[in-house]
Chains A and B, each alone.
Chain A
Amino acid sequence: MAIFDQAIRRLSLSLSRRRSSLSFSTLSSNPLRVCVVGAGPAGFYTAEKMLKAHQGAEVDIIDRLPTPFGLVRSGVAPDHPETKIVMNQFSKAAQHERCSFFGNVILGSSVSLSELRELYHVVVLAYGAESDRALGIPGEYLSGIHSAREFVWWYNGHPDGKNLSPDLKSTDTAVILGQGNVALDVARILLQSTSVLATTDIASHALEALEQSSIRKVYLVGRRGPAQAACTAKELREVLGIKDLYIHINEVDLHKSPEDEEVLKNNRIHRRVYELLSKAATSAPSHPSSSQRELHFVFFRKPDRFLDSGEGSGRVAGVHFEKTMLKAVGPGKQIAVGTGSYEDLDCGLVLKSIGYKSVPVDGLPFDHEKGNFKRKEKIKGWCTLSDHFCWMCYFIHEKRYKAG
């Protein structure tokens, strides 16, 4: 509570220093006052650029958590410490004399957007996308089904993730929906040897749970094919290189359509990913040894519903998939369409890694379907040149997890 009071006191001090006329002048008597909501990479890069571009600009970065850095702290996998080095650069920015960080300030409850508009010339919303896209299929709320985001928060020690307590002991199979970098991260954490994980920054409650985990088989399931996989080469190579791990990819899935060939020709990232998957498919032994853990890449499967064990346990027991095929809908764009043929995969743990949604804030129109702000809509009273400016930070909606 004391921290909360302190934050409000500091913001009130800012209010008393506020000048009524907007000026981008370099005079320190009328500095540009900027509030950046969200202390993750988007917020910090914005703050850095503002400090550099405007002499005398004062930037306050606020965050709902007591600690800064957002996804760099809570999203980057614990065995990727080199990606976190950027915190040094952010710390330098925060130590700048015209920059301040306020933790424990929640937009919406500690302070409202309209209050921030009163206090600052510029408000930048860089608070990311902390909610999940839902599949909207039956059984989605059975226990044993989590979003990958929650699972990542759990093993990274995020304060909102510590009570997740995923059950890793009642099953040997996990199904991960999605094949992006986050999906690979969670697969790797489930399959990596705990002696390796013990040398990382992983949260201790997660390490304990993983040491007792009975999970030996992980399926990474995508709706489309290897040429559309959303992961990147570095992460894929890393997961394929886990010691003593049996990798299985159906060679039939590697078949390329003419549209696939076109995509692979023009897109370096997809080409390198496809080549890695292709090599893994053709060089793998035909079956695993008894002690090996297994990673299966499954393509062309769309989840239709979740199966429960039928004993009223309320726990997930498998996923009912519809087989798909690709249909070209535009230049370079193919979508997955159902074929009417189905297949089940038994499992006791499901992690949905299908993308994020942002959370709305009072005072701005929000597109609930897309999970983002209505960027193109003219908002009356917001962008009046004579008074205040408000920018949406384009990092709000994370369509794709950036490498690391």
Chain B
Amino acid sequence: MSRSRLFSRIGAGIVKELSRGQCTAFCRTSFIQRPYSARWQPRVELYPETKGHRGTISQKHRQFSSTATSSDSADGSDLNEMISVAFVDKDGEETDIKVPIGMSMLEAAHENDIELEGACEGSLACSTCHVIVTDMEYYNKLEDPTDEENDMLDLAFGLTETSRLGCQVIAKPELNGMRVALPAATRNFAVDGYVPKPH
């Protein structure tokens, strides 16, 4: 079994253990650091003026309860709660995971130790969670990207016709069986197309 599959099985096993008989809540608060002071100030950000953030911020602070009721049954095959998604890395290796309805692909990747960076933690301020939906059929089932998502996609490395930001692709029943590919590189590896040569 490949390492990534082993890890995702272990990860799923741990989640099952934690959630046995009770709900596991995932909640996150962000910390904003004041310029040049040492104090961390925990703050829940509210951006009423910026419509692009409405969806993502409420997403971020939502309490996720794992599906305690069905977790004991065969690996979330209950389609009302979970869908199957496959992540294909740049070497072609596939990792099949289960994603609860309502969770973004970015969060799902992190839950399953898939290497998808999300530098801005899902706030539409970067392009590091860029994924490519391999089948046009599934791409068309997604809601159209907002202007804000398009702004960040503009900056993504290796953009394709079916590229989206992983933090904006939210699991829903119609996406069961979707495959998403991780791009070959991110902006952090190539600045303006320049590929550094070893010397």
**A residues engaging B (CB < 8 A)?**
45, 67, 73-74, 78, 80-89, 156-159, 201, 203, 232-234, 237, 268-269, 272, 383, 394-395, 399-400, 402-404
Contact = CB atoms under 8 A, between A and B. Distances in A.
Interface stretch (B16-24, B68-76, B148-156): B148-156
Interface stretch (B77-85, B98-106, B116-124, B172-180): B116-124
Contacts of A395: 191
Given A237-B147, A399-B192, A232 B32 contact: no
Interface residues of B, number: 33
B121 A85 contact: yes
Given A88-B30, A157-B35, A201-B34, A82 B150 contact: no
Interface of B: 30-36, 38, 45, 47, 53, 117, 119-121, 123-126, 147-148, 150-152, 154-155, 159, 188, 191-192, 194, 196, 199
Contact of A233 (B32, B33, B154): B154
15 contacts: A67-B36, A82-B124, A84-B32, A84-B33, A85-B120, A86-B119, A87-B33, A156-B35, A158-B35, A159-B36, A201-B34, A234-B152, A272-B154, A399-B192, A400-B192
B36 A80 contact: no
Contacts of A80: 125
Given A156-B35, A233-B150, A272-B150, A383 B199 contact: yes
Nearest to A87: B33
A394 B191 contact: yes
Contacts of A157: 35-36
A80 B45 CA distance: 12
Contact of B154 (A156, A232, A400): A232
A45 B192 contact: no
Chain B CB within 10 A, most for which of A80, A234, A395: A234
A170 B110 CA distance: 53
Nearest to A86: B119
